Structure 1
Amino acid sequence: MSYREINAPLRTIMTPGPVEVDPRVLRAMSTPILGQFDPAFTSIMNTVMSMIREVFQTKNQWAFPIDGTSRSGLEAVLGSVIEPGDKVLIPIYGRFGHLLTEIAERHGAELHLLHCEWGEVFDPEVVINEMKKVNPKVVAIVHGETSTGCMQPLEEIGKACREQDVLFIVDAVATIGGADVQTDNWYIDAAIGGNQKCISVPSGNSPITYNERIEKILLDRKKVERGIATDKELAEKSYHHPIKSNYLDLSQLQDYWSPRRLNHHTEATSMLYALHEGLRILLEEGLENRFARHKFHEKALIAGIEGMGLELFGDSRWKLPTVTCVKVPEGVDAESVRAMMLNQFGVEIASSFGPLHGKIWRIGTMGYSCRKENVLFALSALEASLIRHGVKVQTGAGVQASLDIYTNGQ
Structure 2
Amino acid sequence: MPIDPPARLLMGPGPVNADPRVLRAMSAQLVGQFDPFMTATMNETMELYRGVFRTRNEATLLVDGTSRAGIEAAIVSLVAPGDRVLVPIFGRFGHLLAEIARRAGADVHTREIEWGGVFSVGAIERAIVEVRPALLAIVHGDTSTTVAQPLDELGAICERHGVLFYTDVTASLGGNPFELDAWGVDAATAGLQKCLGGPSGSAPISLSPAAVERIEARKSVEAGIRADGDAVLDEPIRSNYLDLGMILDYWGERRLNHHTEATTMLYGARECARLLLEEGMHVAIERHRLHGSAMLAGVEALGLDVFGDRAHRMHNVVGVHIPDGVDGERVRRALLEDFAIEIGTSFGPLHGRIWRIGTMGVNARRDAVLTTLAALEQVLRAEGHPLTADSGVGAARDVYSETAA
Q: TM-score range by the shorter chain?
A: over 0.9
User: Unaligned stretches of 5+ in structure 1?
Assistant: none
The reply to whether residue 69 of structure 1 matches residue 66 of structure 2 is yes
Displacement of 1:215 in angstroms is 1.2
1:311-352 deviations in whole A, cap 9, x for unaligned?
111121111111111111012111110000001000000000
The reply to whether residue 288 of structure 1 matches residue 285 of structure 2 is no
Displacement of 1:240 in angstroms is 2.5
The reply to whether residue 206 of structure 1 matches residue 218 of structure 2 is no
Q: Which amino acid aligns with 1:228?
A: R
Distance 1:121 1:229 in 2: 45
Distance 2:230 2:275 in 1: 50
Displacement of 1:223 in angstroms is 4.1
Distance 1:78 1:91 in 2: 15
Distance 1:302 1:22 in 2: 23
The reply to whether residue 9 of structure 1 matches residue 3 of structure 2 is no
Aligned positions of 1:247-396 closer than 5 A: 247-396=241-390
* Counterpart for residue 118 of structure 1: 115
Q: Which amino acid aligns with 2:226?
A: I
Displacement of 1:233 in angstroms is 7.1
Distance 1:240 1:72 in 2: 22
Distance 2:399 2:228 in 1: 65
Answer whether contact 2:225 2:231 (CA < 8 A) is retained. Answer: no
Distance 1:298 1:154 in 2: 21
| Aligned partner of 2:226 among 225, 228, 233 | 228
* Counterpart for residue 243 of structure 1: 237
Displacement of 1:231 in angstroms is 11
Distance 1:282 1:298 in 2: 18
Q: Which amino acid aligns with 1:25?
A: V
Q: Which amino acid aligns with 1:376?
A: L
Distance 2:252 2:237 in 1: 19
* Counterpart for residue 193 of structure 2: 196
The RMSD of aligned alpha carbons is 1.4
SS in structure 2 of the partner of residue 133 of structure 1: helix
Q: Which moved more, 1:213-222 or 1:122-131?
A: 213-222
Distance 1:163 1:409 in 2: 42
Distance 1:224 1:106 in 2: 22
Displacement of 1:132 in angstroms is 0.6
User: Unaligned stretches of 5+ in structure 2?
Assistant: none
- Percent identity (aligned): 48
Answer whether contact 2:141 2:314 (CA < 8 A) is retained. Answer: yes
Displacement of 1:232 in angstroms is 9.0
1:348-379 deviations in whole A, cap 9, x for unaligned?
00000000011110011111011111101110
Displacement of 1:406 in angstroms is 2.1
| Aligned partner of 1:29 among 26, 30, 39 | 26
Answer whether contact 1:224 1:241 (CA < 8 A) is retained. Answer: no
Aligned positions of 1:48-127 closer than 5 A: 48-127=45-124
Q: Which moved more, 1:246-255 or 1:219-228?
A: 219-228
* Counterpart for residue 397 of structure 2: 403
Answer whether contact 1:143 1:153 (CA < 8 A) is retained. Answer: yes
Aligned positions of 1:35-54 closer than 5 A: 35-54=32-51
1:356-406 deviations in whole A, cap 9, x for unaligned?
011110011111011111101110111111111111112211111111222
The reply to whether residue 134 of structure 1 matches residue 131 of structure 2 is yes
Distance 1:60 1:233 in 2: 29
Answer whether contact 1:79 1:244 (CA < 8 A) is retained. Answer: yes
Distance 2:159 2:359 in 1: 33
Q: Which amino acid aligns with 2:11?
A: M
Distance 1:394 1:253 in 2: 56
Distance 1:231 1:157 in 2: 38
* Counterpart for residue 183 of structure 1: 180
1:155-184 deviations in whole A, cap 9, x for unaligned?
222210011110000001011111111111
Distance 2:266 2:23 in 1: 12
1:230-272 deviations in whole A, cap 9, x for unaligned?
99976xxxx4211111000000000000011111111111111
1:125-167 deviations in whole A, cap 9, x for unaligned?
0010110111100000000010000000012222100111100
**Equivalent pairs, count:** 403
Aligned positions of 1:147-186 closer than 5 A: 147-186=144-183
Q: Which amino acid aligns with 2:112?
A: H
Q: Which amino acid aligns with 2:183?
A: W
